[in-house]
Amino acid sequence: MQLFNRVDTRWQGLRNALAGIFCASLGSMDDQRTTSPADMFSPEGSLPSWRNDTSHTLRHATLPSEHVCTENLTPFLKLLPCKSLSGIAALLNPHKLFETNFHGMGIHVKWDEERGINVRLTFQMVSDPLRVSSINRGSFQSFRAKNHTEILMRDMCNFIDWSFGSLFNRKIQRSCPVASTSHVSVTLPPGSLYKMSPGPSSAAESQATYITENCELLSDLKYAMSGLT
What are the pLDDT digits (tens) for 26-50?
888 888 889 988 888 887 878 777 6
Task: Give the integer Cα–Cα distance in Å for 183 and 188.
Answer: 16
24: nearest Cα among 60, 73, 82: 73
pLDDT of residue 197: 83
The whole-number average pLDDT for the span 119-130 is 87
154, pLDDT greater than 60: no
Q: Please give the residue that has the higher pLDDT: either 226 or 100.
A: 100
d(CA 91, CA 83): 11
Contacts of residue 13, defined as CB under 8 A and 6 or more positions apart, other chains included, come to none
> Does the structure show a pLDDT above 80 at 144?
no
Structural element, H or E, at residue 83: none
User: Which pLDDT score is estimated for 56?
Assistant: 77
Task: Reply yes or no on whether the pLDDT at 149 is more than 50.
Answer: no
In 10 A of CB 143, how many CB atoms?
15
224, HSE (Cβ side, Cα atoms, 13 Å): 17
**Where does the pLDDT of residue 92 fall: very low under 50, low under 70, confident under 90, or very high at 90 and above?**
very high
Whether the predicted model's global pTM rises above the 0.85 cut: no
Give the separation between CA 24 and CA 105, rounded to whole angstroms: 12
Residue 112 has pLDDT above 80, yes or no: yes
Which residue did the predictor score with more confidence, 137 or 109? 109
Question: Over 60: is that where the pLDDT of 192 sits?
Answer: yes
